[in-house]
Amino acid sequence: MTAFEIQKVFTSFNDTKILVIGDVMIDSYIIGQVERISPEAPVPVLLTKKRESRLGGAANVALNLKSLGAEPILCTVIGDDPNSDLFFSLLDEEKLLPDGILVSQKRITTEKTRLISQGQQLLRYDTEITDCLSESMFQSFLKRILALIVEYKPEAIIFEDYDKGVINPALIERVVKQAKIENIPVLVDPKKRNFTAYKHVTLFKPNFKEFKEGIQQQIAIDNMELIFESMHRMRKIYGYTYLLTTLSDKGMVAVSEYEQLHVPAQKRDIADVSGAGDTVISTAALALAKNLSLSDIVILANLAGGLVCEKPGVVPADKTELFNEAVNYYEQES
């Protein structure tokens, strides 16, 4: 793509409606300094200097979409607890729509808390419930999602699955069926529990560990021949249009019925890989919604995922930075 074509694509991202279904969480950070070891146990003592809370999980996907100019519609179920108040407050701060958020008294709002000193994570502790939704809540949630599809007419739907119980096979089947009727592409960022429930979706994006677990096969990350062979087989079995697998510092690989490609990672100073998968699926969704080729989808997603790894914490992609990276990349490749 030329710089003009890239600019046209990035401009087209603006106000694109994308429905995001999945598990949300609050990413909390306790930031301080370690100067001594506790006399009570051989553990560091963190002197707290600052606390931060950010939207995470599927909500971070929504943030990435918004940062790239799109209009995300976030669909999830959270708990009826103090953290739900914080979640709605953070949602309001980011000017994200609350239309798809349901609250359940039988759940808690997931929170991941990271203790950080001098840019290094010392410990993470999680507060969560991973049980599936009750039948009544599932029906309410499905009804809300289907209504939002009719109301907003999204150009793509993302399942952002963190195995916290919001997504189940019945929900997947019904939403994918409706998406087919409406001719809306469906993208999936999977986890283990529902891995095989996603059938006939447009783009399926596991990381390499999830991919190996899904096919129950040990593959070396640099054995491209076997990786591609396994991906083609998996794509055919589950009926994906595209299968994209992230390979950490090796970049990304993707296959369709008639093509396969490997896009190496750019050399970067990695600060934190948290949230990179959210950025990848968000960028891929927008690129797919704008009918870009598989090659361009993977290139843009690869660049975006790498960019957020240069920054500490879970942060969304910066549209201007991504545009500049894309222009430089395509100029070098031409």
Q: Which residues are catalytic?
A: 278
CA distance 137 to 307: 38
What 3-state class would DSSP assign to 57?
A: strand
The 10 Å CB-count burial string (b at 16+, else e) for 21-33 is bbbbbbbbbbbbe
Alpha helices in the chain (DSSP H): 3-12, 58-67, 82-93, 135-152, 169-182, 208-215, 224-238, 276-289, 294-308, 319-333
Token pair belonging to 276: 């990179």
CA gap 38, 48 in Å, rounded: 15
Nearest to 230 by CA among 255, 249, 252: 255
Give CA–CA dist 98/105, Å, rounded: 18
The Cα angle at residue 286 between residues 146 and 15, in degrees rounded to 5: 75
